[in-house]
Amino acid sequence: MLVLIVGTPNSGKSARAEAITLQLANGGPRFYLATMEPYGEEGRARVEKHRKAREGKGFVTVERACELDALDPAGVGGANAAWLLECVSNLVGNEMYLPKNAELSESELADRTAASVVRLADRVGALVAVTNEFPLDGPGYDAATRKYARVARAVNAALRAAADRVEELPEKEEERP
């Protein structure tokens, strides 16, 4: 089973995904698949915020920034468990900068990344994947950021099509200009 949680940054996606993962785990094992490479103080603070939010909920954290196909859920005791993938957007960025992916077109990269998430969902009891929605051309976007936004959007579209359930979270009122 694949559940996709989509929203803007700070829209409450993580809390919603945790609740769904706990529900799907039904008291059984649950894993948190962390894809963020925490660069700088802001990155480390975000990782710590997510760790604190998961405290006491029984998640086993597995860190894997990219190449999800190399992850062996059974090897960590999670073949039949509920998994929370946080987040697809980080995974896209990490995959984009892997040297082995440098020659891939945007569509090939998007297809490869989305397929790796779907294959993971097929190898575990349930996968709840969190992803961000970005504008394709935000203020100050350089060429690399525009490419990232296009690839992320393509991955999200593929995952929406493959998911058993999709939840789109609205932007929080206090986040709006």
User: Per-domain residue ranges for the chain?
Assistant: 2-169
With CA atoms as reference, report the closest residue to 81 among 165, 22, 17: 22
Residue with tokens 């769904």: 20
Each residue's pLDDT tens digit, 85-139: 999 999 999 999 999 999 999 999 999 999 999 999 999 999 999 999 888 887 8
pLDDT of 177 reads: 42
Rounded to an integer, the average pLDDT of 150-173 is: 93
33-67 per-residue burial string, b: 16 or more CB within 10 A, e: under 16 = bbbbeeeeeeeeeebeebeeebeeeebeebeeebe
- Is the CATH number 3.40.50.300 carried by domain 2-169? yes
pTM (2 d.p.): 0.89
